[in-house]
Amino acid sequence: MEQAYWLAWSQIPGIGSVLLKRIHQEFQSLYTAWNANSKQLSKVEGLGEVTIEKIVNARHGVHPAELWESHHQKNPNLWTPADPNYPGILWEIPDPPPVLYWAGNLQVWDQSRAIAIVGTREPTVYGRRWAKKIGKALAENGYIVVSGLADGIDAEAHSGCLEANGAAIAVVGTGVDRVYPAKNQPIYQKILRTGLVVSEYPQGTAPDRAHFPQRNRIIAGLCRATILIEAPIPSGALITVYQANDYGREVYALPGSLDFEQSRGCLEVIQRGGQIILGVDQLIASLGNLPVLDTPTDSSVNALKPAKKTTNPANLSKRSKDSEPIQSQITDPIQSQILELLDRQGIMGFDPLVDQLNLNSGDISSALLQLELLGMVAQYPGMRYQRTS
Do 204 and 269 share a domain, yes or no? yes
Q: Which domain holds residue 363?
A: 321-387
Of 74, 92, 111, the residue at which a domain comes to its end is 74
In a domain, residue 236? The reply is: yes
In a domain, residue 97? The reply is: no
Residue scoring higher pLDDT (319 or 221): 221
In a domain, residue 84? The reply is: no
pLDDT at 166: 96
CA-CA-CA-CA dihedral for 69, 73, 74, 77, to nearest 10? 100
In a domain, residue 338? The reply is: yes
Give the mean pLDDT of 261-286.
95
pLDDT at 296: 42
What is each CA distance from 376 to 271, 327, 344, 373, in whole angstroms? 20, 9, 15, 8
pLDDT at 382: 66
Do 263 and 353 share a domain, yes or no? no
In a domain, residue 91? The reply is: no
In a domain, residue 96? The reply is: no
In the chain, pLDDT over 90 holds for what percent of residues?
61
pLDDT band at 311 (very low <50, low <70, confident <90, very high): very low
Is the pTM higher than 0.95? The answer reads no
Q: How many structural domains is the chain composed of? A: 3
Segments in the chain forming alpha helices (H): 2-10, 17-27, 30-34, 38-41, 49-59, 64-74, 88-91, 125-140, 153-163, 185-194, 211-221, 236-246, 264-271, 280-288, 333-345, 350-357, 361-373
Q: d(Cα 237, Cα 119) in Å, to the nearest integer?
A: 5
Give the mean pLDDT of 151-174.
97
Do 61 and 116 share a domain, yes or no? no
User: Residues with Cβ < 8 Å from 136, sequence gap 6 or more?
Assistant: 160, 161, 163, 164, 166
In a domain, residue 90? The reply is: no
CATH number of the domain where residue 366 is located = 1.10.10.10
Do 25 and 164 share a domain, yes or no? no
pLDDT at 385: 85
What is each CA distance from 352 to 15, 70, 101, 343, 344, in whole angstroms? 9, 31, 27, 14, 13
Tell me which DSSP letter residue 159 carries: H
Do 261 and 330 share a domain, yes or no? no
Do 39 and 172 share a domain, yes or no? no
Task: Render pLDDT for 48-102 as a digit per residue (tens, 0 to 9).
Answer: 888 898 899 889 889 999 999 999 999 999 999 999 999 999 999 988 999 999 9
In a domain, residue 330? The reply is: yes
Q: Is 367 a residue whose pLDDT tops 90? A: no
